[in-house]
Amino acid sequence: MEQNEQEAVNQIYEYAAHLLVKEKKSPDEVINFLVEKGLDEESARIIVDNLENHIGDAKKKRAQKDMLYGALWCIGGIVVTAVTYSSASGGGKYVVAWGAIIFGAVQFFRGVANAS
């Protein structure tokens, strides 16, 4: 019997998460949908609050990851450019790693924007 209850709870959470994330419904709309499906309002509110916290944590982790990898790409591109420019100072060719620099900067600032 416990397993059936857990499966039912999981299905409710999956349904609510689908409404919040995929269908981009507001928390109040999701609560109303859950109440229409037979859940009491307090339980529906708890489910939506838990999901919002979980989604917020996941977005924050993703933003931090974007900032880290973006900074690494950007700094790596700058280092490659500086090293090859320095070695070509007496005459010769050097590499401007603009792709890595721009990609890294865009990813870093995307992370900054999503962190807030």
Q: Where do the structural domains in the chain lie, given as residue ranges?
A: 2-115
Cα dihedral 84, 86, 98, 106 sign: positive
Cβ neighbourhood burial of 36 (10 Å; 0-12, 13-18, 19+): exposed
Per-residue confidence (pLDDT) for residue 23, from 0 to 100 = 92
Mind giving me the DSSP string for the chain? -HHHHHHHHHHHHHHHHIIIIIS---HHHHHHHHHHTT--HHHHHHHHHHHHHHHHHHHHHHHHHHHHHHHHHHHHHHHHHHHHHHHTTTS------HHHHHHHHHHHHHHHHHH-
Question: pLDDT tens per residue, the chain (116 residues)?
Answer: 577 888 988 999 999 999 999 999 999 999 999 999 899 999 999 999 999 999 999 999 999 999 999 999 999 999 999 999 999 988 889 999 999 999 999 999 999 999 87
Tokens of 38: 């037979």
